[in-house]
């Protein structure tokens, strides 16, 4: 079964809006696990506008499921990952002030850089995933750089879903097949929702993990967190 990793960045955004510790990020993460999520994802950014570096340490000490840390592998982020040693690190080419991730790596252009940092993380036993688009060459160079997995950036699929889901999913199936042929694991994330998740999973049944935050937390405002997680898990059966 494809694992559901809940990205809790939006929970931290709500907390930070008023200061204090309400909602409690750690308690929400533990609730997600209790309600059936098989992983927790965080994406700390340099300005700590949502997840703080201290959150990462606090979560590491209590989580029972897979812990996935996303981010641009430079400076303090690398130090954090190497110290915390999560189950997985997902390398995302974010600029410091970027609102959200909006592109995958050019793994060919950044091959030497990625190979070096992937080697450092894997030496510490951290599974390493690289955030990529659907170009087969980008998947191939991620494999050459030593990545264990790729995470397909699925915003283009979500945006085109209503216009024709078969066409929208086609390049993702092709990229997934390339990853599978290279012996890589496969993740997906960004703008996946209750509307579009089931279909992409039906087309790519060998997905290892989906990482979902914004849509899931929005749904939880109406449905409640437990019901929401159950509905997302049902899409992955």
Burial of 221 (0-12, 13-18, 19+ CB in 10 A): exposed
- 161 pLDDT above the threshold of 60: yes
- 117 pLDDT above the threshold of 80: yes
Burial of 205 (0-12, 13-18, 19+ CB in 10 A): exposed
pLDDT at residue number 236: 98
- 71 pLDDT above the threshold of 70: yes
pTM of the shown model: 0.95
Q: Residues near 212 by Cβ (< 8 Å), separated by ≥ 6? A: 4, 5, 6, 7, 189, 192, 193, 197, 232
First to last CA, the chain: 6
For residues 91-123, one letter each, b for 16 or more C-beta atoms within 10 angstroms of the residue's C-beta and e for the rest, the string is: bbbbeeeeeebeebbbbeebeeebbebbeebee
d(CA 160, CA 200): 12
178-207 mean pLDDT: 97
Burial of 70 (0-12, 13-18, 19+ CB in 10 A): buried
pLDDT tens digit sequence for 122-138: 999 999 999 999 999 99
How far from the centroid of its chain's Cα atoms is residue 184's Cα? Answer: 16
pLDDT at residue number 86: 98
List residues bridging with 6 in a β-sheet.
40, 212
Q: How confident is the model at residue 1 (pLDDT cuts 50, 70, 90)?
A: confident
Burial of 203 (0-12, 13-18, 19+ CB in 10 A): middle
Task: Copy the structure tokens of residue 142.
Answer: 């991620």
The residue with greater pLDDT, 1 or 140, is 140
6-32 mean pLDDT: 97
Active-site residue numbers? 43, 70, 190
pLDDT tens digit sequence for 199-208: 999 999 999 9
pLDDT at residue number 103: 77
Average pLDDT, the chain: 96
182 φ/ψ sector (left φ>0, alpha ψ -120 to 50, else beta): alpha
- The percent of residues in the chain predicted with pLDDT above 70, rounded, is 97
* Alpha helices, DSSP H, located in the chain: 9-18, 25-34, 53-60, 76-84, 111-123, 136-144, 155-160, 165-181, 197-203, 214-223, 225-235
pLDDT tens digit sequence for 91-106: 999 766 555 666 789 9
pLDDT at residue number 68: 98
- The percent of residues in the chain predicted with pLDDT above 90, rounded, is 93
Q: How confident is the model at residue 209 (pLDDT cuts 50, 70, 90)?
A: very high
How far from the centroid of its chain's Cα atoms is residue 223's Cα? Answer: 23
């Amino acid at each position: 079964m494809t694992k559901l990793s809940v990205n809790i960045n939006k929970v931290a955004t709500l907390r930070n809006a008023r200061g204090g510790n309400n909602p409690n990020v750690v308690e929400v993460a533990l609730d997600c696990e209790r309600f059936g999520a098989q992983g927790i994802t965080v994406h700390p950014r340099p300005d700590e506008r949502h997840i703080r570096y201290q959150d990462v340490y606090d979560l590491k000490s209590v989580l029972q499921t897979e812990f996935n840390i996303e981010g641009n592998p430079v400076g303090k982020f690398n130090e954090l990952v190497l110290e915390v040693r999560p189950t997985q690190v997902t390398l995302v080419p974010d600029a410091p002030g970027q609102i959200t991730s909006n592109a995958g790596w050019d793994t060919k252009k950044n091959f030497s850089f990625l190979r070096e940092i992937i080697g450092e993380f894997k030496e510490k036993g951290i599974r390493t995933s690289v955030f990529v688009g659907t170009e087969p060459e980008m998947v191939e160079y991620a494999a050459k750089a030593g990545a264990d997995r790729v995470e397909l950036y699925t915003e283009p699929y979500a945006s085109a879903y209503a216009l024709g889901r078969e066409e929208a999913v086609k390049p993702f199936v092709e990229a997934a097949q390339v990853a599978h042929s290279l012996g890589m694991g496969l993740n997906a994330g960004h703008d996946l929702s209750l509307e579009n998740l089931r279909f992409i999973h039906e087309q790519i049944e060998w997905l290892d993990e989906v990482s979902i935050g914004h849509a899931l937390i929005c749904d939880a405002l109406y449905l409640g967190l437990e019901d929401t997680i159950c509905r997302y898990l049902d899409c992955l059966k």
